[in-house]
Structure 1
Amino acid sequence: MKMNVEVDCTPEEARRFLGLPDLSPVHDAYVKSLLDTMQKGPSPELLESMVKSWAPMGDAGFKMWTQMFEQMSKGAGKG
């Protein structure tokens, strides 16, 4: 026997029914932080941590990324 059940509810209603936590405040805080960073520009510390996570070559890779970002920032100021 095959049975189909169709439930018409919003994602919020489904979340509550299944007992899942409401992560809206966490999501809102993350989006606000991301927007603030985008508007103010990334800090040097943030860029450094991002580049270190991208650079599999260790120190040599980090220096390459640093030089690339410095060249890009110098070129952006000439507009």
Structure 2
Amino acid sequence: MKITFDIDCTPAEARAFLGLPDVTPLHDAWLARAQALMTEGITPADIDRMTRAWTGGLPGMSEGLEKMQQLFWSAAGMGKKDGGKKD
């Protein structure tokens, strides 16, 4: 036997019915941040923060990604003049 129910409701109504939280303010804040990044552009500092967050627990991974990032920026003509060497 097969029984099918068709429920006509909005996503917000379904979340409220299931007791899930209203994430509209979080969603709006995320969209505002994404829009700001798209209009202002992503800076090398943003990319550095992202790679450090993504590779925080992996030994050696952060250094490898840093080298790859330096190669990317130098290829794009935005790298340091000294080849990205640290003092």
TM-score (norm 1): 0.69
RMSD: 2.6
Identity of aligned residues (%): 36
Q: What are the within-5 Å matches in structure 2 for residues 1-79 of structure 1?
A: 1-52=1-52, 53=54, 57-72=61-76, 74=77
Distance change >3 Å, CA 70–CA 7, structure 1 → 2: same
Provide structure 1 residue ranges, at least 5 long, that are not aligned to the other structure.
none
2:51–2:62 CA contact under 8 A, matched in 1: no
Structure 1 segments, 4+ long, off by >4 Å, are: none
Aligned length: 74
TM-score (norm 2): 0.64
- Which structure's relative contact order is higher, taking Cα pairs within 8 Å and 6+ residues apart? 1
